[in-house]
Structure 1
Amino acid sequence: MIFKNAMILSGSETKIVDIEVRGQIISKIGENLSGEGYDLKGAFVTGGAIDPHAHFRQPGFEAKETIKTGSLSAAKGGVFTAFAMPNLNPVPDCAENLQKEIDIIKRDACITVLPFGAVTKGQQGRQLSDIASIADKVVAFSDDGKCVNDTGLLLEAMQEVKKTGKIICSHAEAAGYGDSEQAEYIAVERELNLVKKSGVKYHFCHMSTAESFDLIRGAKADGMDVSCEVTPHHLSYCAVEKTDANFKMNPPLRQKKDVEAARAALLDGTADMIATDHAPHTEYEKSQAWNIAPYGIIGFETLYPVVITSLYKTGYISLASLVRFTRIGAKNRFGIDAGEIKEGEAATFCALDIDNKRTYKKSEILSMGKNSPYIGMDLYGFNLVSVINGKIKYIDTEALCQTKF
């Protein structure tokens, strides 16, 4: 199969090529290749996003999402590897519970889904999980959604996880401060002090305040093995009036200074990657009053459109930076096996329509969750086709069937 007129990176520049796929491999990249296929008309082809922060909800909360529906949503959005957070039932805090999740992933996932192990049993923050017994089957450890506020227990967790060589991913939110700015940066400061004592590899999830970025920037300058992520919504939205619960997430949307700080953190290397924090909920849950509705928004299908519209089309980042923030950063930090757009590599790529706007429609969302603040917005960069190991897992039939040859 041939994918004609694909824009790919060549160093820091781009070029238009044809891509030939045979079996599971990119067999040839060149010009005027012959054969059946699709004309991508200059769409930007990349190896797909690696999303280090997502909630698939299964096992335990299948009314919100499943591995099957979540991975289909990810494939549509061009997310080909996603890390599954452990706020499940049962919580993957021991080998038996983790295996239940892994079995579902093997059966139902159409992308690569890598499970987290919980830091504490039941994510209750009272007793450590069976860290050693599950370390070789998890991508990292986290109690995301909750902060391990017991300082002694967190230090013990760091010491145990360090023995495994894995990374702890932190939901930094100090107790007693709600979801305020102080809750985040007070927790970041406390945890950095513990990281310095333990020497563990540490990652901060969904950073959102200027103060947090300053602390992490300083820690990196001191040689500490820390990293952090930012979300598309914290890069594109400021705080809003608390009426529509589709804008309710944790951490919440911050002030303009914090959005600017998040963008600056990406550019100077303080922030290493972009993560969706894909968090589906039922429509009923999100239809409730702000103070009752749960935190979280979906993000797989809008990762590229939001980042491309708010950062690339405004001249803030290049396409090379787009790939670095959505793919290379997580690949390098977590040691993920992911190829490139080259002859002989696995035929795994998506094609992003960076030059045309489309309206993000609720009716087209593949995730079971419809809780997105971007519904109704006109965005650049929607994915046209997802090829994974030579097989088309998603195709925008309206856009591409007209270009089939």
Structure 2
Amino acid sequence: MQIVDGRIARIGHDLAVQDDQVIDGTGLTAAPGFIDVHVHFREPGFTRKETIKTGSQAAAHGGYTTVVAMPNLDPVPDNINDLKQLLDKNRTDGVVHIEQFAPMTKALTTTDLVDFTALKQLGALGFSNDGKGVQDAQTMLQAMQDAAKVNAPIAAHIEDESLVNHGVINAGPTATKLGLPGISNESESSQLARDLQLAASTGVHYHACHISTRQSVELIRHAKAAGVNVTAEVSPHHLLLDDSMILRDDPMFKMNPPLRSPEDRNALIIGLLDGTLDMIATDHAPHTQAEKSGSMATAAFGIVGLETAFSLLHTHLVVPGIMPLTTLIDKMSGNPARAFHLNAGELSVGQVADITLLDLNKQTTIDPTTWYSKGTNSPFIGQTVTGMVHTTIVAGHIAYQTED
């Protein structure tokens, strides 16, 4: 593969070498750069957890060439000035392509809608109140109508707070055993049902974030069959973990939505395989060690995921034959690119040279001392995995390369 001026110029064998840099890909697998449509880079406002620079370096380490950052920041970029500063910072500090969601409402928690037209024209990819479910149906309806007018997606954090009841773990036997308040499946699926009805009436591209329950999978399956313009993501941790694996009060297993039952996890895998769930997104959520210590009752929700996603998914889904490698790559690259109309997700002549080189046979142990992220909050630390990212190329430039 030959790269000229940041684009793929030729693909084939025995290409004439005219450039000053050659990457020996012997034994490696070339894939289109991974795309994560759901990350938290914490800047501005929470740089003790992560920065745009460290987050994007973590993305490159994990094989990602494009990410979409969420707007639950301080200040929330709900106006032209704050969003412009954030977009500029994404460009200057990011080592990968960083797209940006703007919020749907002022400060995320109000019912006062942002100026969808102005923020979209400035460069917002779409709109999301991630971290907060939109509790008021009229607000969500108006947001969908405004987003549809500017042909922008709504990425929804789906959570009915009246059904969460201060829960910190999935409602079920594990919550009972540990004496922790539970979060029901209905807190997600009931709001999703509402949103799918509104999406059907408005025609907006509705993107369902971090789906976690079997009921939600079924709702999305029916909505797609009915022609609703809906896409959905699932996180690596919801595919690979469930609440039966939580053996003690360990805040590394606390995320929102919570790890659900084994039956839910199985439904997520089936939904990913049959296309109900379109893509895998990490919901990369770094926190300080202090924020992820103590009890699940008081610790912060969320785990990091950018630097472990491919290795874990390859090990637990591809190696045992649950999913072909080509399907995993499409769920991590091609599908998100198509869903969000990104100029990425394929390897073809003329395409921007966003390429991830994979060493599929390399065995490693998940070790946070090798990470670029400031966050080390992960329940996967210490696992042995097969398959790793060797080199990440962003627009023809090496953003990450392993040291052999």
Q: TM-score, normalised by structure 1?
A: 0.90
- Superposed, 1:1-400 pairs within 5 Å as 19-31=1-13, 37-136=22-121, 137-178=123-164, 179-239=183-243, 240-338=246-344, 340-397=346-403, 399=404
Determine if contact 1:339/1:346 at 8 Å carries over to the other structure.
no
Shift of 1:44: 1.7
Secondary structure at the aligned position of 2:42 is classed as coil
Counterpart CA distance in 2 for 1:123 and 1:305 is 34
Instruction: Give 3-state SS (helix, strand or coil) of 2:357's partner.
Output: strand
Report the CA distance between 1:143 and its aligned residue: 0.3
Q: Percent identity?
A: 39
Deviation for aligned residue 1:28? 3.9
Conserved 8 A contact 1:21-1:28? yes
Distance in 1 (alpha carbons) for counterparts of 2:137 and 2:185: 20
Q: Which has the larger strand fraction?
A: 1
Give the SS at the match of 1:113: strand
Q: Give the aligned residue type for 2:249.
A: T
**Whole-angstrom CA distance in 2 between matches of 1:23 and 1:195:** 41
CA distance in 2, matches of 1:127, 1:343: 45
- The one-letter code sitting in structure 2 at the alignment partner of 1:215 is L
Q: Count the aligned residue pairs.
A: 380
Tell me the SS of whatever aligns to 2:290: helix
Note the residue ranges of structure 1 that are not aligned, 5 or more in a row: 1-18, 400-405
1:78–1:386 Cα contact (<8 Å) kept: yes
Q: What letter is aligned with 1:174?
A: D
Of 237-246 and 374-383, the range deviating more from structure 2:
237-246
Measured in 2, the distance between the counterparts of 1:337 and 1:80 equals: 11
TM-superposed CA distance for 1:242, in Å, is 4.8
CA-CA distance at 1:33 after TM superposition? 5.3
Q: Secondary structure at the match of 1:74?
A: helix
Q: CA offsets, 1:87-123, max 9 Å, x none?
A: 0011111111111211211210111111101011000
Q: Which has the larger displacement, 20-29 or 55-64?
A: 20-29
Pairwise CA RMSD of aligned residues? 1.6
- Cα displacement (A) at 1:374: 1.2
8 Å Cα contact 1:98-1:117 kept in structure 2 = yes
Q: Residues 343 and 191 from structure 1, CA distance in 2 versus in 1: closer, same or farther, beyond 3 angstroms? A: closer
8 A contact 2:33–2:355 mirrored in 1? yes
Of 199-208 and 30-39, more deviation after overlay is shown by 30-39
CA 1:396–1:190 in structure 2 vs 1: closer, same or farther (change >3 Å)? Answer: same
Cα 1:154–1:23 change in 2 (3 A) is closer
User: TM-score, normalized by length of structure 2?
Assistant: 0.90
CA distance in 1, matches of 2:349, 2:363: 31
- Cα distance in structure 1, aligned partners of 2:227 and 2:350: 37
- What amino acid is aligned across from residue 395 of structure 2 in structure 1? N
Question: How many Å apart are 1:34 and its aligned residue?
Answer: 7.1
